[in-house]
Amino acid sequence: MARQEIMTINMGPHHPSTHGVLRVILELDGEVVVNAVPDIGYLHRGVEKLSESRKYLQVLPLTDRLDYIAAGSNNLSYILAVEKLLGIEVPRRARYIRTAIAELFRIASHLLWLGTHAADIGAVTMLMYTLREREDILDLIEETAGTRMMPTYFRPGGVARDVLPDFTEKIKAFTRKIEAKIPEYERLLTKNRIWMRRTQGVGVISREDAISLGLSGPAARGSGVDWDIRRDEPYEVYDELDFNVPVLPEGDIYARYMVRLEEMRQASRMLKQLAEGLPEGDFIERAASKYVYPEKDRVKESMEAMIHHFKLVIEGLAPPAGEAYSTIEAPKGELGFYIVSDGGPKPYRLRIRPPSFVNLQSLLTMCKGNMVADVVAVIGSLDIVLGEIDR
Amino acid sequence: MTVNWNRQNYRGEIPEEHPAVLALRRDKASAVLEVGTSCGEVWAVVPPEEAVAALTLLRDDPALQFDFLSDLTAVHWPHRAGAEFEVVYQLYSISHHHRFRVKVRLAEGKSTPTATGVWATADWLEREVFDMFGIVFEGHPDPRRIINPEGFEGYPLRKEFPLEGRVRW
């Protein structure tokens, strides 16, 4: 028998296809991967520790910087946990707006994933197309929230300000555009023989392994796990929307690609319904005056409004003691916030359950026995963001 | 519109009636030290030596099927003598769509058995808890730090760890 030598090579943390600063220590037998140990933490900013020294509203901008590709989803999960602790109602209009922003960010995240994933495998053109459409979403977010990538737009009880009058028209125009563009992406990749050879049957993970390893989101649905939090534990207004959850049994990179493409179409479908049905009304719950800033005009006229404003700025909002765990279906999987409150104005403990961190655990299962070149494709198909993994 | 935070089988505010609590009391009465509820979510405290048996029971009971470990983390309560640390397991069932929370209370310096045999997810999550709190999980296959660098001293998420100005990196 020939003598076997295992070679250890280091991939990253400055490798362009690791989507940030991921380092993977690969053990190779020839070109076949024997072991892959991810080494993370290069982007650790101590968000959980920082949150314990910030007031609830000051934590909000930190959450934008976790999964910076889909900042709106992070805001949403955090705000839902805070609202759960406070026990406040949210007007329907605000819920519609928040759902629409979350779905816009889902498409933006999937577009960036599609472009970089295809570029990793060698189809560099894709990135130019997907970034072009993503720019439309970011423009819409900028008009609404004031910032392109880090909106910090949601507040406990609603959103920071109302949307512009042409918001619904712009969403409808965008859905028409993206629905015309997705077939163009598909024409480049779906039946492309190189794409199929690089992705079909590669990076396979079974349904049992996916559940045991905690895989969630599109990556799990590509392995036949029929689970979507938007459908199964509806939050915001997802129970009023009509949409399908794509599930494919193959468990390879191609299946995860097909699931995400279909999710973009479904998100566009939901956006159309949200734009059609956007109700009139207030964009923030004014009745919860202890937790919501009063209107600026009223602060100068009403003494109560002045007091509420002053107290909110100086003391911050203080939920009653307790704990809440909120999870949402973020573009990358199950995003959870576990907040323990001791009754004070700062979270006693804030835990972020990042989908990318848990999903990355299945890297070894997906890579083992594949070629070293497939590691890049597998990392791309997991759709990780290091800002969220390292926190 | 109010959001119904309680899912499926359980709709009340009484934690004793949660199906997971009922199952634990029925099959493993010694395992439940305390139950409680917060914001409509139910939790149970189990002793560390019974933790793996209780978690396995919750995973395998056909009516519960908590086959998905959503999250595993810890909370530091430095003023609770004898129970300074709380390890928190967030369970989810993919087939039944319900959630449950299990807590294990530990004294400073005490360890708890690993849950990696119950869910493979626990591997990295327990490493992170060890990294941030210094809680040792007995029998963990790879007990190393995960986010902080090797050779880092201290456990950042403990309350006595200062926010800034202690170690230079």
Residues 116-135, chain B: which have Cβ within 8 Å of A? 119-121, 123-125, 132
- Pairwise CA distance, residues B115 & B113, whole Å: 7
Chain B residues touching residue A53 (CB < 8 angstroms): 163
Chain B residues touching residue A84 (CB < 8 angstroms): 5, 39-40
Asked if the model's pLDDT at residue B10 lies above 60, the reply is: no
Which contacts (CB < 8 Å, 24+ apart) does range A47-51 have? A47/A352, A47/A391, A48/A349, A48/A350, A48/A351, A48/A352, A48/A391, A48/B132, A48/B157, A49/B156, A49/B157, A49/B161, A49/B163, A50/B163, A51/A346, A51/A347, A51/A350
Q: Are B153 and B162 in contact, with CB atoms under 8 Å apart?
A: no
- For residue B63, give the nearest of B107, B100, B38 by alpha carbon: B100
CA of B97 vs chain A CAs: smallest distance (Å): 6
Kindly identify which residue of chain A lies nearest to residue B131, measuring between CA atoms. A41
pLDDT class of B1 with cuts at 50, 70, 90:
very low
Confidence at residue A283, expressed as pLDDT on a 0 to 100 scale: 84
- Pairwise CA distance, residues A325 & A339, whole Å: 6
The residues, any chain, with a CB within 8 Å of residue B81's CB and separated by 6 or more, are none
DSSP H/E element including B21: helix B19-27
Chain B residues touching residue A49 (CB < 8 angstroms): 156-157, 161, 163
Give tens-digit pLDDT for A186-233. Answer: 888 888 888 888 888 888 999 888 998 989 999 999 998 989 999 888
CA of A128 vs chain B CAs: smallest distance (Å): 34
Confidence at residue B168, expressed as pLDDT on a 0 to 100 scale: 55
- Pairwise CA distance, residues A112 & A385, whole Å: 11
- Pairwise CA distance, residues A31 & B75, whole Å: 44
CA of A377 vs chain B CAs: smallest distance (Å): 22
Collect all residues from A whose CB is shorter than 8 A from any CB in B. 40-41, 44, 46, 48-50, 53, 84-85, 87, 89-90, 92, 95, 209, 211-214, 225, 227, 232-233, 235, 237, 322-325, 327, 334, 336, 338, 340, 348-349, 351, 353, 357-358, 360-361, 390-391
Kindly identify which residue of chain B lies nearest to residue A357, measuring between CA atoms. B124
Instruction: Tell me, yes or no, whether A4 lies in a domain.
Output: no
Sorted by where each begins, the domain ranges of chain B are 15-118
Asked if the model's pLDDT at residue B166 lies above 70, the reply is: no
CA of B23 vs chain A CAs: smallest distance (Å): 22
If you count them, how many residues does chain A have?
Answer: 391
Rounding to the nearest 10 degrees, give the CA dihedral for residues B64, A205, A355, A284. Answer: -70
Lowest mean pLDDT among A145-149, B27-31, B75-79: B27-31
* DSSP codes of every residue in A160-184: SSPPPTTHHHHHHHHHHHHHHHHHH
Buried-exposed string A62-81: b where 16+ CB fall within 10 A, e elsewhere: bbbbbbbbbbbbbbbbbbbb
Angle (CA) A76 A80 A84, round 5° = 175
- CA B37 to chain centroid, in Å, comes to 15
Lowest mean pLDDT among A148-162, B8-22, B35-49, B129-143: B8-22
Kindly identify which residue of chain A lies nearest to residue B117, measuring between CA atoms. A212
CA of B14 vs chain A CAs: smallest distance (Å): 16
Give tens-digit pLDDT for B30-49. Answer: 778 888 888 878 888 998 88
Confidence at residue A3, expressed as pLDDT on a 0 to 100 scale: 60
Rounding to the nearest 10 degrees, give the CA dihedral for residues A159, A313, B78, B44. Answer: -30
Task: Say yes or no for a CB contact (<8 Å) between B147 and A334.
Answer: no
Instruction: Tell me, yes or no, whether A155 lies in a domain.
Output: yes
In one-letter notation, the amino acid at residue A213 is: L
Confidence at residue A17, expressed as pLDDT on a 0 to 100 scale: 65
Residue with the larger pLDDT of the pair B3 and A327: A327
Confidence at residue B7, expressed as pLDDT on a 0 to 100 scale: 40
- In this structure, what CATH number is given to the domain that contains residue A282? 1.10.645.10
Instruction: Tell me, yes or no, whether A156 lies in a domain.
Output: yes
Nearest CB among B38, B71, B121 relative to A336 is that of B71
Kindly identify which residue of chain A lies nearest to residue B129, measuring between CA atoms. A351
* DSSP codes of every residue in A303-338: HHHHHHHHHHHHT---PPSEEEEEEEEETTEEEEEE
When scoring A40, A212, A241 by the number of chain B Cβ atoms within 10 A, the one with the most, hence best to mutate, is A212
Instruction: Tell me, yes or no, whether A271 lies in a domain.
Output: yes
Q: What is the number of CB-based contacts under 8 A between chain A and chain B?
A: 95
Q: Mention the CATH class of domain B15-118.
A: alpha beta
Asked if the model's pLDDT at residue B15 lies above 80, the reply is: no
CA of A305 vs chain B CAs: smallest distance (Å): 25
- Pairwise CA distance, residues B161 & A80, whole Å: 29
Residue-range definition of the domain harbouring residue A365: 47-385
Instruction: Tell me, yes or no, whether A1 lies in a domain.
Output: no
Confidence at residue B13, expressed as pLDDT on a 0 to 100 scale: 63
- For residue A58, give the nearest of A347, A270, A351 by alpha carbon: A347
Kindly identify which residue of chain A lies nearest to residue B123, measuring between CA atoms. A361
Q: Domain tally for chain A?
A: 1
Instruction: Tell me, yes or no, whether A24 lies in a domain.
Output: no
Residues of chain A short of pLDDT 70, as ranges, are: 1-4, 16-18
- Pairwise CA distance, residues B77 & A43, whole Å: 28
> Mean pLDDT, chain B, as a whole number?
82
Tokens 């759902």 locate to: A99
- Pairwise CA distance, residues A72 & A133, whole Å: 18
CA of B53 vs chain A CAs: smallest distance (Å): 17
- Pairwise CA distance, residues A108 & A120, whole Å: 18
